[in-house]
Amino acid sequence: MLMFIYYIFSLIFVQGCITHLGSVKEEDHNPAEFAQIMKYFGSVQESILALIQATTGGNDWHVIYDAVSITGPTNSMLFLFFMGFFHIAVLNVLTGIFVENAMKLAQPDPFTAALQQRQNEMLEAEELKEVCRGLQGTESGTISLEDFQREIHHGKLRTHLRVLGLDIKDTHKFFSILSFASGQEKVDIDMFVNGCMKLKGYATAIDLQSLLCETRQTTKDIQRLLDKACAGLSTTNVGWGSEMRIEEDGSEESGSQMRILQTLNQDEDEMADRVGEMAPGRSSPSKEVGMKVVRSSALSL
């Protein structure tokens, strides 16, 4: 790309010098000016060399400018544009490309970066453990809510947690999260440190996606329990309805039996009165047997 730029501007300057020399009469030529023009712009090769010297410090660009200014103001302004364009645009762009490539090569590979990050996290966790072990009231290897609140407000634990990126506003809520994970009122120092290391920093997309999946799973579990509860209630209602119908049917049958027995008793009394009128003190055996049969049949219904 650089050689192409040098080549294009060299053609332009050589063409401008030829045009100027062609427009001046031979007897009007200044030998010193003619020699200076031919020295730097006598050919395309010499013009390229002159431009390279002017842009790289091989020669003072003012010397080249004096030679170009002889040919007229147009070539002079074009040379100044070339110098500004080359130093401001071309060199800066090329320098940026080289620096970017050098920075890419200087960056560690992903495995090394992950290993370094893991070592830094382990070092931070070990330093936090040492701070927790030195707190008052943690001789048993656990931290209570009272010890945590005391050290946060009056000790050095708050400053150390701020260095890790944990700016705790509500100590009770923060400690409740750690104690809920452990399932105990007092939190073990190792579990406390692991919880702090997990809570530092911002929530990532993986954390949000994991929370979304857990919420959906919980919703499905609750819906499944509701379906089972509704099915159980429906079965219970059906059973209660059946028992109530059975009781109602039994009561209806009992009532019908009672009405039949009352009717039979009335008929029996009437027949007994008639038999008494026909033969006092005696009863008809056939009538008694018939009434027993009728009574047993009614009860069997």
Phi first, then psi: give them for residue 183, nearest 5 degrees: 80, 15
Phi first, then psi: give them for residue 142, nearest 5 degrees: -130, 160
Distance CA(178)–CA(184), nearest Å, equals 9
Q: State mean pLDDT over 221-225.
A: 89
Determine the pLDDT at residue 138: 66
Q: What does the pLDDT look like over 34-75, one tens digit per residue?
A: 888 888 888 888 888 988 888 888 888 888 888 888 888 888
Q: Are 74 and 16 in contact (CB under 8 A)?
A: yes
Distance CA(63)–CA(65), nearest Å, equals 5
Short-list 73, 52, 71, 70, CA closest to 61 = 52
Determine the pLDDT at residue 282: 43
Confidence of residue 137 (pLDDT cuts 50, 70, 90): low
Determine the pLDDT at residue 232: 76
Determine the pLDDT at residue 267: 52
Q: What is the amino acid identity at position 254?
A: S
Distance CA(283)–CA(263), nearest Å, equals 20
DSSP summary character for residue 109: P
Region for residue 137 given its phi and psi (left: phi exceeds 0; alpha: psi -120 to 50; beta: otherwise): left
Determine the pLDDT at residue 301: 45
Determine the pLDDT at residue 265: 57
